[in-house]
Structure 1
């Protein structure tokens, strides 16, 4: 469901640690996007990992410590904007589980209500004051957490405004990229097999590559070593939207 965003609200950027360390160009694209929209934003420099890896690894104690730090860092923000469906999902749906029965429960509920994934926020913003352009075809990656978060329709709405872009579809059988955070470390062989099968299916569609709300999936797929041989392109939503003729 597309919800209109409140223009003029204070925004704090929640940049996932993997973007900060492995794909800073995506974070820069998000900042550039907000600047072109004349949106005032702040980037809290003391933010850290939200705790997703600890949570998926079965370490709730560490996840809670990171949750408490997140609450301190992002206190007071009207909107917490995140360019990752998986990290948004953790804050919105997993933090309340971590805080159950704790004194932070009310603060967590407030933060969970204010965190927004970039695609859903942009869908609520409405038309951009410029025309993004991408000549070619891409597949919108249906990452596991983007599906669970329910934001793929928002991403399709936003991408429909990109001139020249044709979104192709892939069999519903191919959705997971094989990353799964710690899954790829615990089951490297299976993770690779899933990823390679996924890339083969993408190539079969004739698409130039993938666009995703979760760049962690794209980092995993690029790391398999076969994507380059297939001449596939990988973009975060923000990168596509900052392209213009």
Structure 2
């Protein structure tokens, strides 16, 4: 089984711990992970902003960088959805590799729900839009969280509502984006959770920034970092 990590440009530049946690978790489960150095952006930002030719060039580059791998794992539902849903439309002749969001790979490919994690905190889970609506990950992340030792999972009110980030949406519609994010923060705080967990650092960046600026008593953390945590850590 040849496995490659697609770190995504946001994680690479701003949240590398999500990628490190993904590798640590997979290696703990006996999976050997490669990291193709030729990888770069999936082109989602370009495509959504109206530059399909630039996005197509990045999609072709992605296919070349990950050619030959049986599975590609990404700690991002947003970028995984871009590769699976949009890349075949804009580079139909390219051989697009099989890309899985982390929770999909753990449950559907490895057949694992209890990954041996230990995270003694109260958390709530935000299902990001792309993972929920394009990838249809369903309750996979929740099943993984429920199996974490010491973790207390609280249901998030309005969980399926968008946090308001939406990539360039937050730049073009900052007032609406901020209001949506503030609602998400308020709902998370109402659970009494110490952490809000999600599988996309783009959403966590938006929610976490609003929480920090408002002084809300909650922190954000990527799903991979929770699942990689152990008693020894």
Could you say whether these structures have the same fold, taking a TM-score greater than 0.5 normalized by the shorter chain as the test? Answer: yes
CA distance in 2, matches of 1:177, 1:56: 18
Point out where structure 2 has 5 or more consecutive residues left out of the alignment.
none
Q: Give the alignment of 1:1-245 within 5 angstroms.
A: 9-100=1-92, 103-104=93-94, 107-108=95-96, 111=97, 114-124=98-108, 125-127=110-112, 131-148=116-133, 149-172=135-158, 175-224=161-210, 226=212, 229-245=215-231
Alignment root-mean-square deviation, CA: 1.8
CA distance in 2, matches of 1:45, 1:163: 35
* CA apart distance, 1:131: 2.7
Instruction: Give the TM-score normalised by the residue count of structure 1.
Output: 0.87
User: Quick check: 1:123–1:157 contact (8 Å CA) kept in 2?
Assistant: no
CA distance in 1, matches of 2:213, 2:120: 20
Structure 2 equivalent of residue 6 of structure 1: none
- Aligned residue pairs total 229
User: Quick check: 2:42–2:59 contact (8 Å CA) kept in 1?
Assistant: yes
* CA apart distance, 1:70: 0.4
Instruction: Give the TM-score normalised by the residue count of structure 2.
Output: 0.92
The runs of at least 4 consecutive aligned structure 1 residues that moved more than 6 Å come to none
- Taking structure 1 as reference, are residues 229 and 132 closer, same or farther at Cα in structure 2, changes over 3 Å only? same
Point out where structure 1 has 5 or more consecutive residues left out of the alignment.
1-8
